[in-house]
A and B are shown apart, each in its own frame.
Chain A
């Protein structure tokens, strides 16, 4: 395949970022917004074309005679050649999952660009906003098409940086500033693990290339055999460290604390970055390295356990939040944890790695319906100027489009057929039940909780009791409603895509079989959750309050997110700051600065002391000269005699 179009997919958002970032202040808001949207639209068309080429052209580059989808490098240029062995390349890798991401990212990004034309209208720094969106799109696309771990790491940091910039977009709000710092620091901390993991892995395998690593992991990893560090094998350590990077980006416990705060950013940004694309980078990373993970089943166990705990935790917390964006944020954490669990249970012997395919399927559908939900939430916030559901209620009459689309999103995430979430979640549950019944039941419970908390906010927003609105809320303008409608349509039909034909483990086609028992159970649980929510929240009543009162401690703990932030505060402020930073600061001030200051003082004193030698008094010079000459004479005589 020609490299022009793939190159353009990366170059256009980058060029748009530079254009809007450098010349944006000279443009009107409208010009900048339309330019950014048009650029993204072009990328959308090109990416669809590329993905279409990959899946349907039948080109032998992309699909083998036997029908196996291949990994294909479109281009790969040497970027930094340190040694012949250590070359960092930048390139463009097309394979089933990157082609799928080429559909997901531009779609959501384009919708968000379009939606922001209405949502961000009149905001200060509108051009800057669009520049950052372009930067993010560029980085995210670069991340998914990376040909080697190091390229992925570079773009990984770039998405982190653009996320930081966008969370802190309203930089005059202290909460936004601290949220952006928190996100940056937490993910940076996780990325440290990622980097160490990369270095360990590449030290042993002598390569960064995904294809080399994943095509025959057994032989590439042979060199790590027997190498241990502190009692666990180096390979396990490396894979767990790499997963740590994914935990940071994908907000897995215990590194999830940044994501709820990241909701301080503009809502479309939350939809794009903190729901649909960037936060699934961790899942994508594990999927990308999956053949290597398969070599180390213990690290997959680790992924599974972390995912399962996070899923339950986030679902419980989501039930007790007041801020609707926070509910959606925790729901995102929970859904990503679903994908992680699905990868964690994927084994070749269980339905030919069904979990792998299911997680990618869920990534795809989740991106669609979660973006829809966030954009819907944005429309609600735009209408009532508050993030809290207490300021909403009975909105179904005033905002019909938002109502319908939001309902579709809720049904999709709850897993009600025929909406998209049902199919992908069903696949995940099948994979999990195939691995272990215990985790299957666990994840079914989480799915039920998902249905409950989504419909809780749904009823609280659109039914419940109507508060006094200062002015009549109404649907957003066309540019805001259109993305909602499109995404709702996609969320409705996406489940019918035969995903197994496109994205599977090792590229072999996989026929999805509906497991009616699992499907029946999950639908039943979802319905229970929905009806329970309906029972509690349809009309104003005091049942929710009585229920919260009956186990007040649990409600408070969940509302305070089980005190994770407080624990972090305690650890950082009380233990790390006092125990480590103070001594280091003391060392820095007293020893490092002290020695430097001491040097300066000594130099100063010495120069003060000897500057009198340079007095300009000739006789003094002569005297010194004479002394020197006589000494020399004496020394010479001494030596000669």
Chain B
């Protein structure tokens, strides 16, 4: 059995769809953020896999993933700071209660 490109893409696709499902259904903002991380990771995997299978000589996909991880870290930090702030104000991090910029 030969493990071809598609074998790697299908799990990442499923992971991505799980992320979509989670993002749309969860109410807890942290849970939504977790779903977001799932989607991001699926994309990272895609980059790496394409790089590895189609252009083994270069490192673009790998570097893209590297930077994406760094950005994801920054983004998560900021998002969590905001969420904690919202929690401090409302005692609750339900996304549906935070539909206004000002209240």
Contacts and interface: CB of A to CB of B under 8 A. Distances in A.
Q: Do chains A and B touch in the complex (CB under 8 A)?
A: yes
Nearest to B96: A617
B92 to A, nearest CB: 15
B99 interface: yes
B99 A619 contact: no
Contacts of A622: 23-24
Contacts of A615: 99
B100 interface: yes
A107 B96 CA distance: 88
A262 B3 CA distance: 108
A623 interface: yes
Contacts of B101: 616
Interface in B1-43: 20, 23-24, 32
Contacts of A225: none
Contact of A626 (B20, B98, B99): B20
A619 B23 contact: yes
Per DSSP, chain B at the interface is helix
A221 B45 CA distance: 93
A639 interface: no
A366 to B, nearest CB: 81
A618 interface: yes
A626 B96 CA distance: 19
Contacts of B100: 616
Interface string B68-103: 000000000000000000000000000110111100
A623 B24 contact: yes
Contacts of B32: 618-619
A88 B10 CA distance: 84
B95 A619 contact: yes
Question: Which of A619, A622, A626 is packed against the most chain B CB atoms within 10 Å?
Answer: A619
Interface string A601-641: 00000000000000111110011001000000000000000
Contacts of A619: 23-24, 32, 95
A619 B101 CA distance: 15
A616 B94 CA distance: 13
Contacts of A616: 98-101
Nearest to B29: A618
Contacts of A618: 32, 95
A618 B100 CA distance: 10
Contacts of B20: 626
B99 A617 contact: yes
Contacts of B99: 615-617
A622 B95 CA distance: 13
Nearest to B23: A622
B75 to A, nearest CB: 15
A123 B100 CA distance: 67
A445 B24 CA distance: 104
A331 B21 CA distance: 98
A617 B95 contact: yes
A623 B95 CA distance: 14
Nearest to B100: A616
A599 B29 CA distance: 42
Nearest to A615: B99
A159 to B, nearest CB: 64
A613 to B, nearest CB: 13
Nearest to B20: A626
A615 B100 CA distance: 8
Interface string B48-80: 000000000000000000000000000000000
Contacts of B95: 617-619
A544 B32 CA distance: 109
Contacts of A623: 24
Contacts of A617: 95-96, 99
A154 to B, nearest CB: 59
A265 to B, nearest CB: 65
A78 to B, nearest CB: 61
A86 to B, nearest CB: 60
A185 B39 CA distance: 79
A619 B25 CA distance: 8
Interface in A511-525: none
Nearest to A618: B95
Contacts of B24: 619, 622-623
Contacts of B23: 619, 622
A617 B23 CA distance: 12
A623 to B, nearest CB: 6
Nearest to A626: B20
Contacts of A626: 20
A329 B100 CA distance: 77
A615 B101 CA distance: 11
A617 B32 CA distance: 13
B53 to A, nearest CB: 22
A626 B24 CA distance: 10
A623 B21 CA distance: 10
A621 to B, nearest CB: 11
Contacts of B96: 617
A623 B98 CA distance: 17
B29 to A, nearest CB: 9
Nearest to A617: B99
B54 to A, nearest CB: 20
B47 to A, nearest CB: 19
Interface string A178-214: 0000000000000000000000000000000000000
A616 B20 CA distance: 19
A623 B23 CA distance: 9
Interface string A280-317: 00000000000000000000000000000000000000
B21 to A, nearest CB: 11
A619 B96 CA distance: 9
B85 to A, nearest CB: 16
Question: Which of A617, A618, A623 is packed against the most chain B CB atoms within 10 Å?
Answer: A618
A623 B100 CA distance: 18
A615 B96 CA distance: 10
Nearest to B95: A618
Top-6 shortest CB links A-B: A616-B99, A617-B99, A616-B100, A619-B24, A618-B95, A623-B24
18 contacts: A615-B99, A616-B98, A616-B99, A616-B100, A616-B101, A617-B95, A617-B96, A617-B99, A618-B32, A618-B95, A619-B23, A619-B24, A619-B32, A619-B95, A622-B23, A622-B24, A623-B24, A626-B20
Given A619-B24, A619-B32, 11 more contacts: A616-B98, A616-B99, A617-B96, A618-B32, A618-B95, A619-B23, A619-B95, A622-B23, A622-B24, A623-B24, A626-B20
